[in-house]
Chains A and B, each alone.
Chain A
Amino acid sequence: MSEIEDWALVARAQGGDMDAFHVLIVRYQRPVVHFCFRMLQSEQDAEDVAQEVFVRVYRYLGRLTPQAKFSTVLFGIARNLCLNFIRDMKRRGRGMGQPLDSQPELESSVRSPSQEVHLREVEACIAAAMSELSDDHRMVLYLRDVEGLDYDGIAQVMKCRKGTVRSRLARAREQLRQHLIHYGDDLL
């Protein structure tokens, strides 16, 4: 999708066009919910926070200027809200979700039963390993490997330098690799 198109929709929404804002929600709801889910490890919490992301965007519509990718703005807000949520949960003594129990169902496919079992095993291990990473490492992995943001974009979202993105990604992947080796050599 075109960033120009995104910002054109934002401009229309700034003028009061709710249909344009609705298009933006539909366009980005899945990646935002997925991002929140990876950070919060709970589908319900992820959806609540993701809704708040779009509410915040709407509230700040008049302040948005097309100086970055719209997705960068979205993930930046999602990052802040997720970190706030995690902090609040820690203050209240509530643990985060249980990743292995709350993994979304896989879409059915033409994979054989044995392939399906192996894939589920790998995904469960990856999800479990990711849940053991720090918030920053989990976030940087998601933004790079799932959303495909480049290092500059990730740096904007995470409010850090590009070199920090590089080192965090390297460390996160190494920790993940170590976890998977621990779970089973055949996973890699």
Chain B
Amino acid sequence: MSTPHVLDELSAYIDGESRNAPAIARHLQSCPECARRHVELSKLTRHVHALPAPEVLPSFAARVVARLDQADAPPRWHDRFLVQHALPTAWALAAVLLIVGTAYVVIQEVESRSDLPSVAESSPAPVEPDPEVLARILDMGIWEGPFGEDEAEVAEESVDLSVELLIDSLAAIAGDAETGEWYEEEDLMAVMEALAQEDVQVLSELARNHWDEG
């Protein structure tokens, strides 16, 4: 009796990362189609491995060091403390400030409009972002820039350098919010909308914009 093909599992099997390696090995002995594919994929990995690398000039390291002379001195122990203790705390604080601050600003804005009912009279308050902002949100894919494509997962890796950049950016945004020099009303509305939908992409986009502008 023939067993189902294992074509989809051959890639991991070749890498030694398959959980069904013994069963796949047995199957390959009796299935010509899977065995042929196994040979093809094995050749393929060898071909990729053998791709020639560009030559690195002997002066490469010296040129890097020359650029370092223009860079800041490496941070010391207090920076490690900053990353391991202060920044995570600052990040949590920044997130709270961001939520509370934007909520406050938007509520104030909604209440100040005579043609709209107050929050107390109507809940939830209608949030209608500017069409351009809305289009930007809709056009926004998963952010694949310096912070990775899965913000929620990345955020769990507090020691990751990319997260540090994200933290720096959002902390800076929150800092600007405190001084009233943050984004335009449309952006605040977009943030509220995103918060209501638990959409971390918008926050990431704002962080990216801030990073780019910085």
Contacts and interface: CB of A to CB of B under 8 A. Distances in A.
B149 interface: yes
Contact of A29 (B17, B56, B67): B56
A58 interface: yes
Interface in B50-98: 50-57, 60-61, 63-65, 67-68, 71-72, 74-77, 79-80, 83-84
Interface residues of B, number: 52
B45 interface: yes
Interface residues of A, number: 68
Given A130-B48, A150-B17, A188-B44, A60 B161 contact: yes
| Interface secondary structure of B, over-half rule | helix
B164 interface: yes
Contacts of A22: 61, 65
Contacts of B149: 159-160
B162 interface: yes
Interface stretch (B112-120, B126-134, B140-148): B140-148
A166 interface: yes
A37 B60 contact: no
Nearest to A122: B47
A130 B162 CA distance: 27
B11 A169 contact: yes
Contact of B161 (A76, A126, A177, A188): A76
A131 B154 CA distance: 28
Contact of A166 (B11, B41, B52, B67): B11
Contact of A59 (B12, B52, B54, B71): B71
A60 B163 CA distance: 13
Contact of A176 (B44, B79, B144): B44
Interface string A23-52: 001100110011001100001001100110
Nearest to B37: A177
Contact of A34 (B53, B80, B148): B53
A80 B208 CA distance: 13
Contacts of A58: 68, 71, 74
A80 B77 contact: no
Contacts of A55: 64, 67-68, 71
Nearest to A145: B48
Contacts of A123: 47, 50-52
A84 B148 CA distance: 11
A103 B170 CA distance: 41
Contacts of A126: 47-48, 51
Given A25-B64, A126-B48, 6 more contacts: A14-B74, A37-B54, A62-B76, A103-B52, A126-B47, A141-B48
Interface of A: 13-14, 16, 18, 21-22, 25-26, 29-30, 33-34, 37-38, 43, 46-47, 50-51, 54-55, 58-63, 65, 67, 73, 76-77, 80-81, 83-84, 87, 103-107, 122-123, 126-127, 130, 141-142, 144-146, 150-151, 158-161, 166, 169-170, 173-174, 176-177, 180, 187-188
Closest 3 CB pairs of A and B: A62-B75, A159-B148, A61-B74
11 contacts: A18-B68, A50-B60, A60-B164, A62-B77, A80-B146, A84-B145, A159-B154, A161-B150, A166-B17, A170-B12, A188-B40
Interface of B: 8, 10-12, 15, 17, 40-41, 43-45, 47-57, 60-61, 63-65, 67-68, 71-72, 74-77, 79-80, 83-84, 144-146, 148-150, 153-154, 159-162, 164
